[in-house]
Amino acid sequence: EEGVPGRKLKIKVIKDGKKTVNITLSLKMVRFFGKFVPEKAKAEMSDKGIDFDTIIEQIKDGADVGVIAEVQDGEDHVLISVE
C-alpha cells in the first residue's frame, strides 16, 4: 500500500555524482523481482561491498523500516532502505 511504512525496498546508486540506478520494489514481490534487478545495479553494489542476495535474505527475514545498507565513497553512493 502506498504510504504504509515497511512496504517498499528502495535501491539508489549514484556514481561519479550522477544517479545511475533508482529502483523501488514492493516487499511482497522482492523475491520475484529481485531476479530482475539489473546486473549493473548488482555489480555497482558489489563494488561497494554490498551483497544483494544477502540484502534480500534480510528482507525476507523481516527487516525493519529504515536504511539496510549505505556506502559513501567520494562521489559514489549506494543506499538500500525499506520504506
Give per-residue pLDDT as tens, 6-23: 678 888 888 888 888 888
Place of cell 563494488: 47
pLDDT tens digits, residue range 38-74? 788 788 788 878 888 887 777 777 767 888 888 888 8
Instruction: For residues 25 and 15, give the distance between their C-alpha atoms in angstroms, rounded to a whole number.
Output: 21
pLDDT tens digits, residue range 20-32? 888 888 877 776 7
**Full-model pTM:** 0.66
Measured on CA atoms in the order 10, 76, 48, 19, is the torsion positive or negative? positive
All residues at 6 or more sequence positions from 54 whose CB lies less than 8 Å from its CB, including other chains: none
Q: Kind and range of the H or E element at 20?
A: strand 18-26
